[in-house]
């Protein structure tokens, strides 16, 4: 068997990442300077982004108290997890100009929203996603599911 000669431009084309709709975030850097706290996971997040998958998770915890006024003096602890997933179908090589965005939210614990007394919630993180009971936990709720498609202009 003989070897196949491959030119440098062909190698460069093979190593190029497919173009996509979203820019690739910079996950690198030390914990004090990078924009994403979890970092790059040894290149894993960048590799996923280069294949069209971007995942961001925001976790908020809240400890709060009513110290004066309100319906009653109360303490509460709770939080929420907000997950945002972008699927760049163009970068995946599936559908040119297509993007899928999914947001999933979860809520746990309690808040002082019911005990504080005002008309508007004092803690909107503990208010959304909305449930029938004020502090009912939410396992997971899909609060955004968006498919967008951009046609190429001639």
Residue 126 dihedral angles phi and psi, to the nearest 5°: -85, 0
**Is the distance from CB of 77 to CB of 62 less than 8 angstroms?**
yes
What is the rounded CA–CA span in Å between residue 61 and residue 121? Answer: 16
Q: How many residues does the chain have?
A: 154
CB-based contact 84:101 (threshold 8 Å): yes
What angle is formed at CA 77 by the lines to CA 79 and CA 134, rounded to 5 degrees? 75
Q: Per mean pLDDT, which of 8-17, 49-58, 74-83, 101-110 is the most reliable?
A: 49-58
Spell out the domain ranges in the chain: 54-149
Out of 9-18, 66-75, 94-103, 134-143, pick the least confident: 9-18
How large is the average pLDDT for residues 22-51?
A: 90
Q: Is the dihedral of CA 17, 23, 24, 29 positive or negative?
A: positive
Q: Is the pTM of this model over 0.85?
A: no
What pLDDT was estimated at residue 11?
46
pLDDT in tens, 71-88: 777 788 888 899 999 999
Is it the case that residue 15 has pLDDT exceeding 80?
Answer: no
Kindly tell me if the per-residue pLDDT of 2 is higher than 90. no
Checking if the pLDDT of 121 tops 80, the result is no
Q: Is the pLDDT of residue 42 over 60?
A: yes
What sections of the chain are H helices per DSSP? 8-15, 44-50, 113-116
Give the pLDDT confidence score for residue 153 in this predicted structure. Answer: 60
């Amino acid at each position: 068997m003989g070897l196949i000669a491959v030119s440098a431009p062909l190698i460069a084309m093979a190593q190029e990442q497919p173009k996509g709709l979203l820019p690739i975030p910079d996950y690198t850097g030390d914990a004090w300077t990078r924009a994403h706290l979890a970092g790059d996971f040894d290149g894993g997040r960048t590799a996923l982004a280069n294949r069209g998958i971007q995942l961001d998770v925001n976790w908020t915890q809240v400890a709060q108290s009513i110290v004066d006024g309100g319906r009653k003096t109360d303490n509460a602890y709770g939080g929420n997890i907000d997950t945002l997933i972008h699927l760049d179908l163009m970068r995946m090589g599936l559908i040119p100009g297509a993007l899928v965005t999914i947001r999933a939210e979860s809520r746990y614990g309690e808040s002082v929203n019911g005990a504080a007394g005002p008309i508007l919630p004092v803690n909107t993180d503990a208010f959304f996603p909305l449930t029938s009971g004020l502090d009912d936990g939410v396992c997971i709720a899909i609060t955004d599911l968006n498919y967008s498609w951009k046609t190429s202009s001639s």
